[in-house]
Structure 1
Amino acid sequence: MNWNDCEMFCHVVEHGGFSAAANFLSHPKSSISSAVQRLEQELDTRLLERTTRSVRVTEAGEILFRRTAPLFAGLHEACAEALGSGREVTGMLRIASPYEFGAHHLAPVACELMLRYPKLQVQIDVENRPINPLTEPYDIVFAMLESQLPASSVVIRRMFSLQRDLFAAPSLVRDRGRLQRPDELRHWPLITSSADAGWSFVDSDGVDHQVAIASPRVISANADIRMQAAMRGLGITRITASFCADAVASGALARVRFAGYTCEPLRVYALLPGKKLQPEKVRHFLDALAGHARQTREDMGWQFHHDKGAARI
């Protein structure tokens, strides 16, 4: 097996497509596509299903990615540690992030690194507006898929794909009754983010269904405010599953799911200012965050497999 081709394939999966992988690696998109095609021919199996709009991982591709991506990550980490063993992680690391992601995913990683490296300082600014790291003084800018991404001169690295669901107070679900399709949400009171133009759902055939947002009851960019409003029975909201896991576990919120439909996940990208070598503080933070992402996927997968708090509507 050509391991370079295999690593190219892992980058396509990790970054969500050929263009994003090409941008991250500074390689032509055509060379990455050729690498994946060679790998598929060598293995005699389809790893990616390609359409004009998206790339979807097949079952065989998911198995290969899950087993090999950690090996490549470990190899690069070992090499980086060997090269940087004499370098100190120090200075101010400036990060911009939306609140929902920063509070639950960046904060624990930042605290862990500062305990490990006493000379490291971290500044995390909560920003919901689009930020270009080429023009503002941040080492890392985290952006959601809905945000407008900057020019291609910015390095874009996909870090998280967070499960999102609809949540509401159990009493509201009981009072409102059963729903069959996402478009019936227009009859419900909605609690939305100020960035929400619509909510997207994918059916079992992979077809997207958009629900337009009209006259929401509560609007806030702050996920905690939306969650509190939902717990008070003011409407149904869309939030990442990890953010309100405790509220679901306590019974204050119920997950609301349509049979045969899933919410579009929240994809989080790290935007880096240019293709130069990453400072030690940036590299260590992104490596630690990638480890946190893997652990989160494992934890949330177990939790929601055993979750009793879903309201199947």
Structure 2
Amino acid sequence: MNWDDFDAFCLVVDHGGFTAAARALDRPKSSLSASVARLETELGTRLLERTTRQLRLTDAGESLYRDISRPLAQLRERAVEALAQGTTVQGTLRVAAPYEFGAHHLAAVACRVMQDHPQLRVHLDVEHARVALFERHYDLVFSTMEHNAAPATVVTRRVYSLERGLFAAPPLLAGRETLAQPEELEGLPLLAGGEDQRWSFRDAGGTVAEVEMRNPRMRSGNAEVRLKAAIAGIGVVRVTSTFAAAAVAQGLLVPLLAEWTPEPLKIHALLPGKHVPAKVRVFLELLEQEASGAL
């Protein structure tokens, strides 16, 4: 008996099919199919009913999965723990991040870690929508977590606090006096994030002010959409300063409320467990160097 075939069978069931399992494991679909077929031959029974639309366990398959899936999952976990203690950085690192952060802060880190470790591959998903925590078996997920806490099974490590600013196109501000207080924003159209309830500000003396998002002109979780709307003169946008830097340099946007600092965008690194593999560890170390300007 080949225990790898038993493991392949359980992983196909765990992921709901051969295609999803092959993608998550970075293995050819054909090798998983061959493993399950070989196991069925050795056991002399059908374990999976395959159709064009779904995969269904037979009675024998359900019984086998119930008996062996947990021990094999524990064995895989122990193997991950052992690898985490090692120094070899190899395999595939799967990372997901929100667009506003990933597009401007992770590219250099991903390139550097692959240059330093030729045996490592990186799959970097930059998402406009909220990332579903580890739904696609990521090794590392970056999240703003501004309104929702991570599940208890997820290890949270804060990495970044990104400076944000307020920006608007010059035509939108034409004929208006320079804004001095956050509450004056209520006289302008606002471009809110998908989950923004309020914008918070703090001045040099520590005074805090808030602007409620009662009726924004636009609401979108896509920072790039909001930025383009601001450049088009549709409204005032709150985004990270690095994200708006190019538009400001070209004169397409100007910063507002220079005496007030918007609440920063807090980015957390979320890990699927307490054991950190070497590939994740080196990525986070390089990210911290990038944050400090040492990269």
* TM class, shorter-length: 0.5 to 0.7
| Letter matched to residue 186 of structure 2 | R
Deviation at 1:130?
5.3
The corresponding residue for 2:133 is 132
Q: Work out whether residues 164 and 265 of structure 1, in 8 Å CA contact, stay in contact via their aligned partners in 2.
A: yes
Gaps of 5+ in 2: 1-84
- Cα deviation per residue 1:112-142 (whole Å; 9 max; x = unaligned)? 2223322211122234325434x65111111
| Letter matched to residue 132 of structure 1 | L
- Structure number with bigger Rg: 2
SS in structure 2 at match of 1:238: strand
- Cα deviation per residue 1:210-248 (whole Å; 9 max; x = unaligned)? 211122222222212211111111111001001111111
Q: Work out whether residues 141 and 272 of structure 1, in 8 Å CA contact, stay in contact via their aligned partners in 2.
A: yes
The corresponding residue for 2:107 is 107
- What is the Cα-based RMSD across aligned positions, in Å? 2.1
SS in structure 1 at match of 2:106: helix
C-alpha separation between the residues in 2 aligned to 1:89 and 1:103? 24
Q: Work out whether residues 113 and 285 of structure 1, in 8 Å CA contact, stay in contact via their aligned partners in 2.
A: yes
The corresponding residue for 1:158 is 158
| Letter matched to residue 277 of structure 2 | P
The corresponding residue for 2:280 is 282
- Cα deviation per residue 1:282-307 (whole Å; 9 max; x = unaligned)? 011000100111118x9xxxxxxxxx
C-alpha separation between the residues in 2 aligned to 1:252 and 1:111? 30
Q: Work out whether residues 96 and 124 of structure 1, in 8 Å CA contact, stay in contact via their aligned partners in 2.
A: yes
Matched, 1:233 2:233: yes
How many residues end up aligned between the 2 structures? 210
Q: Work out whether residues 145 and 266 of structure 1, in 8 Å CA contact, stay in contact via their aligned partners in 2.
A: no
Gaps of 5+ in 1: 1-82, 299-313
| Letter matched to residue 266 of structure 2 | R
C-alpha separation between the residues in 2 aligned to 1:151 and 1:194? 21
- Cα deviation per residue 1:68-99 (whole Å; 9 max; x = unaligned)? xxxxxxxxxxxxxxx86xx4311111112111
C-alpha separation between the residues in 2 aligned to 1:121 and 1:262? 39
The corresponding residue for 1:123 is 123
SS in structure 2 at match of 1:195: coil
SS in structure 2 at match of 1:157: strand
Q: Work out whether residues 89 and 120 of structure 1, in 8 Å CA contact, stay in contact via their aligned partners in 2.
A: yes
Q: Work out whether residues 153 and 273 of structure 2, in 8 Å CA contact, stay in contact via their aligned partners in 1.
A: yes
Percent identity among equivalent residues? Answer: 46
The corresponding residue for 1:149 is 149
The corresponding residue for 1:188 is 188
**Stretch of structure 1 that moved more, 93-102 or 118-127:** 118-127
Query: TM-score scaled by structure 1?
Result: 0.62
SS in structure 2 at match of 1:281: helix
The corresponding residue for 1:266 is 265
The corresponding residue for 2:208 is 208
**Stretch of structure 1 that moved more, 214-223 or 184-193:** 214-223
The correspondence of residues 2-151 of structure 1 with structure 2, limited to 5 A, is 87-127=87-127, 128-129=129-130, 131-133=132-134, 137-151=137-151
C-alpha separation between the residues in 2 aligned to 1:129 and 1:226? 16
C-alpha separation between the residues in 2 aligned to 1:113 and 1:105? 13
Deviation at 1:197?
1.2
The corresponding residue for 1:37 is none
Which 4+ residue blocks in structure 1 deviate beyond 3 angstroms?
130-133
C-alpha separation between the residues in 2 aligned to 1:255 and 1:145? 26
C-alpha separation between the residues in 2 aligned to 1:131 and 1:93? 17
C-alpha separation between the residues in 1 aligned to 2:220 and 2:99? 11
